[in-house]
């Protein structure tokens, strides 16, 4: 993301000015959140014996939900002793994202949790369930306003501080086989 933001590009197929703007904004968000993540106590999430996972995020640099959640997932992965979060670009991995649609769309980020054999054990995304429910409801309304929904999403993430994302990831991995 840093490379894209600093060179005035974005990931993905389209080098549109709006997507480049979001890439730069998201890079600033990620830098801020990476500092905020350092203040979290990940010890309470420790799950002994679950060490062979690797989270793989399918995303793009312009994705606001990715900027808000992936720093937490990355830090959680490190705290659990898992392999580092790996990023795959959605637009260059269409077959993969098409396997993991959300409501029939290529919504991102989509995080796959794989074992050493690269078997997908569980998935998460594109955003915490509470927020996803709000977005789906808002989009179904006849007077859907993208700007208003975007502002709500940003305020929600700011207030939540990654708590919902971390709780959901913890719940997902609780039932996975221990190694």
Q: Residue 170 and residue 126: Cα distance in Å, rounded?
A: 16
What pTM value is reported for the model?
A: 0.91
Q: Are 1 and 27 in contact (CB under 8 A)?
A: yes
The pair of structure tokens assigned to 111 is 């995080």
pLDDT in tens, 22-51: 999 999 999 999 998 988 888 777 665 677
Rounded to the nearest 10°, the torsion over CA 136, 151, 36, 63 is 60
User: Rounded mean pLDDT of 92-99?
Assistant: 94
The more confident residue out of 118 and 178 is: 118
pLDDT in tens, 152-176: 999 999 999 999 999 999 888 887 7
End-to-end CA distance of the chain: 33
Q: Is the pLDDT of residue 94 over 70?
A: yes
Taken in order of first residue, the domains within the chain and their CATH numbers are 2-174 (3.40.30.10)
Which of these, 27, 38, 22, 29, lies nearest to 1 by C-alpha position?
27
The more confident residue out of 74 and 43 is: 74
DSSP 8-state symbol, 120: E
**Predicted local confidence at residue 46, as pLDDT:** 61
User: Rounded mean pLDDT of 55-63?
Assistant: 96
Q: Are 165 and 72 in contact (CB under 8 A)?
A: yes
**Predicted local confidence at residue 179, as pLDDT:** 56
Which of these, 75, 79, 97, lies nearest to 88 by C-alpha position?
97
Q: With cut-offs at 50, 70 and 90, classify the pLDDT of residue 134.
A: very high
Q: Are 130 and 76 in contact (CB under 8 A)?
A: no
User: Rounded mean pLDDT of 59-66?
Assistant: 96
Partner residues linked to 110 by β-bridges: 58
The total of other beta-carbon atoms located within 10 Å of residue 86's CB is 15
């Amino acid at each position: 993301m840093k490379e894209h933001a600093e060179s005035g590009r974005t990931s993905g197929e389209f080098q549109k000015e709006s997507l480049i703007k979001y890439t730069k904004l998201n890079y600033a968000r990620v830098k801020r959140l990476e500092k905020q993540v350092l203040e979290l106590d990940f010890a309470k999430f420790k799950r002994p014996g679950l060490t062979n996972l690797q989270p793989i995020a399918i995303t793009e640099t312009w994705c606001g939900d990715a900027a808000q959640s992936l720093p937490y997932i990355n830090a959680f992965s490190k705290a659990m002793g898992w392999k580092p979060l790996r990023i795959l670009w959605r637009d260059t991995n269409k077959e993969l994202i098409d396997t993991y649609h959300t409501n029939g769309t290529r919504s991102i980020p989509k995080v796959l949790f794989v074992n050493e054999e690269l078997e997908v054990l569980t998935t998460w995304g594109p955003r915490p369930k509470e927020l996803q429910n709000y977005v789906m409801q808002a989009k179904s309304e006849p007077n859907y306003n993208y700007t208003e929904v975007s502002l709500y999403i940003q305020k929600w993430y700011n207030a939540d501080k990654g708590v919902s994302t971390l709780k959901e990831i913890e719940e997902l991995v609780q039932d996975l086989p221990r190694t």
